[in-house]
């Protein structure tokens, strides 16, 4: 796989790199996207039922069962080459930030540290009443009414549902890192989910070199410095080799 010389040099010279990932990077591991494509999650399940506070309040057992099944599916799948290369990059350069819209935890399983999870994580639960946060026991059996150890209220998955704001601290840190990076590599993002989709433009406005890796065209095509069309699991290892092994 051939890459432009400018692209290679920009990455080699970069002191601060941000990887911004979306559903496309985990799709290659077997996790369907939420919106795009005939096999996307919301083509088969109603988000009003499974991804809103009113839906949860109406039937928490149904929602909990659905997320329990998703957690079991995720456990059986593995991070792919793109996740592993991103983790290797964190060991290569002093300042590498991973910002993800995904809730699967695959970046951490591949070895990435201090991942900014904009939409929460299936590895965590929080209580409905007060927001007390707990690590989810991935080996537990299905519990239709899990309760908070601190206040006794009903737990829910600690993910961002429709109508909810992104976590303030996570989004602020993501904005700061995008404002101060030399290179931003956007991987598998549909660029349809806001406010997360604003982050690459924050990087551009601050003078960063923007690389997009995607199977499909997005709104970033016209503004990215480099568009690489294809699977992240194939492009990322080839890019690593071109930058560090040639």
Locate 162 and state its tokens: 């429709």
Pair (180, 221) in one structural domain: yes
Do 149 and 246 reside in the same domain of the chain?
no
Owning domain of residue 3 = 1-30+79-119+166-246
Q: Residue 115 has what DSSP assignment?
A: -
pLDDT tier at 140, thresholds 50, 70, 90: confident
Residues 104 and 201 occupy one common structural domain = yes
203 & 177 share domain = yes
Question: Above 80 in pLDDT, residue 127?
Answer: yes
- Asked if 49 contacts 42 with a C-beta cutoff of 8 angstroms, the reply is no
CATH number for position 133: 3.30.1600.10
Q: What's the pLDDT tens digit per position in 164-218?
A: 999 999 999 999 999 999 999 999 999 988 999 999 999 999 999 999 999 999 9
Whether 69 has a pLDDT exceeding 70, the answer reads: yes
Sheet with 155-159: strands ordered across? 133-135, 120-127, 155-159
Could you tell me how many residues make up the chain? Answer: 246
8-state DSSP, 224 = -
Residues 199 and 129 in one domain: no
Let me know whether 185 and 91 are in one domain.
yes
98-137 in b/e form (b: 16+ CB < 10 A) is bbbbbbbbbbbbbebeebbbbbbbbbbbbbbeeeeeeebe
Q: What is the pLDDT of residue 221?
A: 95
Which of 159, 184, 209 is at the close of a domain? 159
Q: What is the dihedral of CA 172, 174, 179, 180, to 10 degrees?
A: 120
Q: Which two tokens stand for residue 244?
A: 């560090």
Helices (H), the chain: 5-13, 23-27, 41-44, 47-50, 53-58, 60-76, 81-92, 106-110, 168-179, 199-205, 232-244
Number of domains in the chain: 2
What sign for the dihedral angle of Cα 156, 158, 163, 164? positive
Model confidence at 3, pLDDT cuts 50, 70, 90, reads very high
Identify whether 107 is a catalytic site residue.
no
Query: What pTM, to 2 d.p., does this model score?
Result: 0.94
**Which CATH number covers residue 219?**
3.40.50.1220
What pLDDT is attached to residue 145?
Answer: 78
Q: What is the pLDDT of residue 98?
A: 98
Q: Which of 83, 84, 107, 119 is catalytic?
A: 119
Sheet with 16-21, edge to edge strand ranges: 116-117, 95-100, 16-21, 183-187, 209-214, 226-229
């Amino acid at each position: 796989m051939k890459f432009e010389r400018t692209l290679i040099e920009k990455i080699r010279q970069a002191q601060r790199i941000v990887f911004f990932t979306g559903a496309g990077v985990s799709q290659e591991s077997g996790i369907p996207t939420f919106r795009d494509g005939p096999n996307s999650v919301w083509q088969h399940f109603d988000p009003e039922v499974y991804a809103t506070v009113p839906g949860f309040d109406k039937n928490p057992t149904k929602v909990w069962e659905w997320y329990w099944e998703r957690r079991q599916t995720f456990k059986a799948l593995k991070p792919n080459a793109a996740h592993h290369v991103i983790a290797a990059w964190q060991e290569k350069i002093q300042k590498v930030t991973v910002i993800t819209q995904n809730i699967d935890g695959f970046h951490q399983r591949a070895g990435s540290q201090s991942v900014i999870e904009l939409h929460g994580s299936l590895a965590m639960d929080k209580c409905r009443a007060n927001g007390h946060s707990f690590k989810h026991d991935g080996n537990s059996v299905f519990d239709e009414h899990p309760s908070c150890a601190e206040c006794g209220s009903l737990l829910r998955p600690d993910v961002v549902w429709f109508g909810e704001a992104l976590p303030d601290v996570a989004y602020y840190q993501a904005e700061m890192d995008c404002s101060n990076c030399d290179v931003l590599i956007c991987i598998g993002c549909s660029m349809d989910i806001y406010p997360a989709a604003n982050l690459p433009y924050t990087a551009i406005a601050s003078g960063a070199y923007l690389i997009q890796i995607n199977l499909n065209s997005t709104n970033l095509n016209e503004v990215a410095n480099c568009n690489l069309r294809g699977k992240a699991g194939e492009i990322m290892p080839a890019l690593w080799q071109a930058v560090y092994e040639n």
